Structure 1
């Protein structure tokens, strides 16, 4: 017979144990972008929670420009709102240098860090140490409707020039049937319209800054590139192009409304998937177009997961990031969502997986685009910065965003192009001077 005092003691211990178990659950707040691959990550994260019942995930899913603004503000002010951040190749080395994000050292052997493609690994490192892990990586490429190009009696070269792109756009443009010759990013933002425009400027021989940090926006090369950009969208693009970013153009192309689209290689899996694309059986692809200079026409980017220094939940956060960027996770996506939807661009093993290669005919093309993108030797003339579609300095985020707004104003006719270039040049020069450039 159990004594009353002993029974009460057991009961009290049981209640306390239960309370401790509840209190021990760690809640992670994850800030991420509303791109298709991240939405799949959110959907499949229940598998992580099942395997780790002591960790609960709370999601903040935001449009790209909003995400960048919020996580930058939070990290710079040490606000501590988020335990996991979705950031990219631009932010990682800069934030690591500032001591804002935690280092990813001592990764488990099963993670196989050397399996991560070298350009992606290097882009997420500072002083040869990883500060974020890649969820997916991308370059850029040209998508097109094979049926429309064939109907026009034309062919798409493996490496088109921008003049050839314009000629094709003119032939296949059919606004009466809501089919537009070309779709391009017009939404303002350093990671929206300027991601595309920067590569266009590169291949026309231009750049953001020279080797002495002199601003080079108001130049003949920029003018030639932006003149063609505006020409393409005004004459052969959809209405309201200045509101269209990656997601808007992806939806339009998937719906059959774009004859061509020059954008991220990550869209290939979504466009080739009949479940998400009406034109999956008509999809053609080629390299990103070139003009007078062949380099810098295809960008290099990785959406990666990082843990801010302000997080008090480092172990749980790193456990989630390691899982979400692992071979195991890629296998999970392949098995549940179809191999065509597997996160691309991060691991050599993905490009050696027969299931992926059979499902994704674009796979090797994308791998080559990523591995040939060169953030250092990008421009015709020497430059001081690292980056294909951005300049890897803290000041660029503000400069790129303001320039993006000015280029959007030129696209909509609110500002003449010459004035837009002068305005962007002046603003960038002022910002660089205030920041102390040129650096000695």
Structure 2
């Protein structure tokens, strides 16, 4: 794979890298008072994820630096979405800081103006070294609303990559696939039910399954909407990509795959019983943990191969913002600066907990030297970000989009016609979209 990062590259990187174990110089910058809100307490709502775990692991650093006490909770994503909507709609939130999934909640939060516009705080309430220009364009695209408000800061981009079992590939002399057709061919060749090995595993559960399909859809040249703004989800590209999705999971996947979310897919791959798995880039840590994984040291991390018309990594993202209903905006903002700062972004990279949105993380020598996952993972992420496109339409009713098309995909796995299911889903979702516009 091109641009592979090795130890020699790490050792030759700039010597002035930020130390991961220490608080970086930005926190001690002269003229900025990190103790301004000492003695206050804030509540932080986090989505359960490797990123949430990372923030909680290092929370004491923030508390010691600022004197601000933090009460933080991690909530599974589906429950988090429900909780935040209920609380925002009530006009009073139990949390001061909120972690959000851009691909699901960006438009919804914007419509309600549920989060504080951070632009004044960025302009007057941040150390110079905080450096907003260090955030990637893709991250700031997600963080910026259509009216120009920056009501969160980006925390993580999640390009989807292809995880592959090198041992299983080598045993049957199969090369890493160069395109969509070769993904299908490899899956068929590696599928071996007699030994309990499947050629491919991925999300089949309704709603959760949509991002896997849309990754193929984009590679086939699909667009969510046509030039007139109408849904383009029953086109030849949509049908071809959904057929590929169906055939991979139905013909080379595990029994009961229609009930698989990411955790079931991960478990099968961890056991060495799946040759390929396509999902978000943040799953490397458990794969390289000998206490959890039977495939440690055997996993390949690959960029999504090109489809017939495009090479795309369907990408998602999350950010962190200040509740518009909190009376603790100052200390909440301090938490966000710490959470999205250079030190935390470097730690995210080193642990493989996600793909940082700060450009400096990718040239941080110590972060690279301290990788707890293979350098191949970093290469796959960096290359994937170059071909990243949002994996879901950026619309307010995105949850309904996932529900509607997720049911259609699920029905395909159980035998229904691909074209008929896409037509039905498109017809059902069109009025939902029109109502929200």
Q: TM-score surpassing 0.5?
A: yes
| 2:195 aligns with one of 172, 177, 191 | 177
Structure 2 gap segments, 5+ residues each: 1-37
Aligned length: 389
Please tell me the root mean square deviation across aligned C-alpha atoms, in Å: 2.6
Structure 2 CA distance for partners of 1:204 and 1:330, relative to 1, 3 Å: closer
Partners of 1:273 and 1:247 in 2: CA distance: 16
Number of the residue aligned with 2:25:
none
Q: Give the conservation status (yes or no) of the 8 Å contact 2:41–2:71.
A: yes
Partner of 1:150: 170
Distance 1:32 1:412 in 2: 35
Q: Are the structure 2 counterparts of residues 275 and 118 from structure 1 closer, same or farther at C-alpha, using a change threshold of 3 Å? A: farther
Whole-angstrom CA distance in 1 between matches of 2:129 and 2:233? 47
The match for 1:45 is 59
TM alignment of 1:15-414, pairs within 5 A: 26-59=40-73, 61-90=74-103, 91-92=105-106, 95-96=109-110, 98-105=112-119, 106=122, 107-126=126-145, 127-128=147-148, 130-157=150-177, 160-189=178-207, 192-274=208-290, 276-295=292-311, 297-330=312-345, 339-341=350-352, 343-358=354-369, 359=371, 360-361=374-375, 362-374=377-389, 388-413=390-415
2:152 & 2:65 partners in 1: Cα distance?
23
| Counterpart in the other structure of 1:430 | 431
Which structure is larger by alpha-carbon Rg, 1 or 2?
Answer: 1
- State the distance in 1 between where 2:276 and 2:417 align: 27
For residues 368 and 332 of structure 1, do their structure 2 counterparts lie closer, same or farther at Cα, with a shift above 3 Å needed? closer
CA contact (8 A) 2:303 2:381 kept: no
Deviation at 1:182, TM superposition (A): 0.8
Task: Look up the SS of the partner of 1:207 in the other structure.
Answer: coil
Partner SS state of residue 266, structure 1: helix
Instruction: Report the Cα offset of residue 65 of structure 1.
Output: 2.5
Choose 137-146 or 419-428, whichever is displaced more. 419-428
Task: Find the aligned partners of 1:251 and 1:45 in 2 and give their Cα distance.
Answer: 29
Q: Distance in 1 between matches of 2:308 and 2:347?
A: 44
Describe the SS at the equivalent of 1:349.
Answer: helix
Give secondary structure in 2 for the equivalent of 1:139.
strand
- Distance (whole Å) between structure 2 residues aligned to residue 130 and residue 34 of structure 1: 24
Q: How many angstroms apart in 2 are the aligned matches of 1:48 and 1:247?
A: 31
Task: Give the TM-score normalised by the residue count of structure 1.
Answer: 0.80
Structure 1: give runs of 5+ residues left out of the alignment.
Answer: 1-23, 375-387
> If the length of structure 2 is used for normalisation, what is the TM-score?
0.81
| Aligned equivalents of 2:263, 2:169: Cα separation in 1 | 24
Secondary structure in 1 matching 2:246? helix
| Alignment match, 2:9 | none
Q: CA offset at residue 279 of structure 1?
A: 1.6
